[in-house]
A and B are shown apart, each in its own frame.
Chain A
Amino acid sequence: NAGVTQTPKFRVLKTGQSMTLLCAQDMNHEYMYWYRQDPGMGLRLIHYSVGEGTTAKGEVPDGYNVSRLKKQNFLLGLESAAPSQTSVYFCASSSAQGLTEAFFGQGTRLTVV
């Protein structure tokens, strides 16, 4: 009953470094999403995927890239981290479009110094 699993849970990066956040779901969901959560701003969509091999931009995609090579995995990459990317990142998956009946991971707290 893992649901949606994110790795790592915490990370500190120096400005300019790169990293990849991994999201894995075991519910055979077609739709996967990456959000960032900042104080007082709710959740904002970075990128999303409607199926294996597909990705699309969300509300705040700049500075991020994603890949969905396998249905169960959705990777979020930061090529050159900036302090403005300090945030808590959440992955979600759903069986239906529009985030209906979605499940979220536990989050990744990223600090860029």
Chain B
Amino acid sequence: GENVEQHPSTLSVQEGDSAVIKCTYSDSASNYFPWYKQELGKGPQLIIDIRSNVGEKKDQRIAVTLNKTAKHFSLHITETQPEDSAVYFCAASDSGGYQKVTFGTGTKLQVIP
């Protein structure tokens, strides 16, 4: 089955700096890669996603890159703000299979003012 590894498990950055979270996946059939932000006491919220036919996607301060050959994808947050502090999860999905969604173990991001 699919295996998704996520690094680092914790990340502290100064406000205004960039943060990068990396994930690798094992199943070449995976073709959809969402990223979720989970604030304390809340459910995960989709913040950006990318499909396997795209190499990079941006949305304001966040961007995701995908390298299908190497089977890794990354989340980039620029100009970090205190409200970016949260746990971030990556996931990999074979959109043809309802249960084939595997989550990473999460990265706790702390943005220090």
Interface residues of A (CB under 8 A from B): 4, 31, 40-45, 48, 50, 56-59, 90, 92, 96-107
Alpha-carbon gap, A48 to B93, bound state (A): 15
Beta-carbon contact of B98 and A106 below 8 Å: no
The one of B45, B49, B96 in contact with A97, judged by C-beta atoms closer than 8 angstroms, is B96
Beta-carbon contact of A98 and B104 below 8 Å: no
Within 8 Å CB of A107, what residues of B? 41-43
Q: Does B46 contact A (CB under 8 A)?
A: yes
Closest chain A residue to B6, Cβ basis: A42
Interface residues of B (CB under 8 A from A): 4, 6, 9, 32, 34, 36, 41-46, 49, 89, 91, 93-101, 103-106
Beta-carbon contact of B46 and A97 below 8 Å: no
Within 8 Å CB of B34, what residues of A? 99-100, 102
Alpha-carbon gap, A91 to B101, bound state (A): 14
- B31 → chain A, closest Cβ, in Å? 9
Q: A90-B43, A98-B98 are in contact. List 13 more A-B contacts (CB 8 A).
A: A41-B105, A42-B89, A42-B103, A43-B44, A56-B99, A58-B99, A98-B94, A99-B91, A101-B49, A102-B34, A102-B46, A104-B45, A107-B42
Closest chain B residue to A90, Cβ basis: B43
Beta-carbon contact of B98 and A104 below 8 Å: no
Contact A99:B101 (CB < 8 A) given known A104-B43, A104-B45, A106-B42? yes
What are 15 A-to-B residue pairs whose CB atoms are below 8 Å? A42-B4, A42-B105, A44-B103, A45-B101, A56-B98, A58-B99, A90-B44, A98-B98, A98-B100, A100-B32, A100-B95, A101-B46, A103-B46, A106-B41, A107-B42
Closest chain A residue to B30, Cβ basis: A98
Within 8 Å CB of B103, what residues of A? 42-44
Beta-carbon contact of B98 and A100 below 8 Å: no
Beta-carbon contact of B49 and A100 below 8 Å: yes
Contact A105:B43 (CB < 8 A) given known A41-B105, A98-B100, A98-B101? yes
Beta-carbon contact of B93 and A100 below 8 Å: yes
Alpha-carbon gap, A105 to B42, bound state (A): 8
